[in-house]
Amino acid sequence: MPTYILTQADLVKTAARRWKEMNFYLEGPERKKIHQQLLKAKTAEEVDSIIGNKEWTTFYCHNCNAQHLKVVAQVGQEWDYETRTCNLCLDCVRSIHATLLAASAGQEEATEDINRGHGPDEVQKPALSETNPQDSP
């Protein structure tokens, strides 16, 4: 799946639908009233005020557990309730990027070493020129 950048605006836009899905078991006029209020809400503050917390308009990072984030990168399987999907904060993405770059550079050096060891350069080296005569028995 492509990486999705999810923002607080996405959460505000989908709050009414998500709230209705999550609270399907509630009965009565209160459920309908809250849903109607959420449909009219245009800002995160309005949604937070209706629901009573910031959990519906912010993300948390699945890697470092940073809370109340306004933007994340979503990687893995396309999200559903039982998928392997991960939301990452900017700091974690930066850290992963730096680590991946370093590992990739190390991998290229390791690959070059392997190629040097088994490639034509190694075969063509004159063996005696690199041997210290004092090391010989």
> Could you list the residues that contact Zn ion (CB under 5 A)?
61, 63-64, 66, 89, 92
- Least distance to Zn ion from the beta carbon of 122, Å? 44
What is the token pair recorded at 44? Answer: 């995160």
Q: What is the dihedral of CA 98, 101, 104, 108, to 10 degrees?
A: -130
Residue closer to Zn ion, measured from CB, 40 or 84: 84
**Complex with Zn ion: residue 51 or 66, whichever CB lies closer:** 66
Q: Quick check: 84 and 77 in contact, CB under 8 A? A: yes
Q: Which is nearer to Zn ion, 9 or 73 (CB)?
A: 73
Question: How many Å from the N-terminal Cα to the C-terminal Cα in the chain?
Answer: 62
Tokens 């449909």: give the residue: 39
To Zn ion, the closest distance from the beta carbon of 27 in angstroms equals: 39
